[in-house]
């Protein structure tokens, strides 16, 4: 079993990762809400 060594977190890499995750997530939520509004209107 490998244990993680304590390295300082690379804040730039972490920010890029969250942008990579949050942009598609926000896009999907927005599109879902738009489709739902069309369905119920």
The 3-class secondary structure across 5-38, one letter per residue, is CCCCCCHHHHHHHHHHHHHHHHHHHHHHHHHHHH
pLDDT at 28: 97
Joined together, the tokens standing for residue 38 give 């069309």
Q: What are phi and psi of 2, to 5 degrees?
A: -95, 140
pLDDT of amino acid 6: 58
> Could you read off the pLDDT of 5-30 as tens digits, one per residue?
656 678 989 999 999 999 999 999 99
**Cα–Cα dist 17/15, whole Å:** 5
pLDDT at 8: 61
Output the pLDDT for position 5.
Answer: 60
3-state secondary structure of 4: coil
Compute the average pLDDT of residues 22-39. Answer: 95
């Amino acid at each position: 079993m490998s244990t993680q060594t304590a390295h300082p977190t690379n804040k730039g890499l972490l920010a890029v990762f969250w942008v990579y995750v949050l942009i598609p997530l926000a896009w999907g939520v927005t599109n879902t809400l738009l489709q739902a509004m069309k369905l119920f209107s």
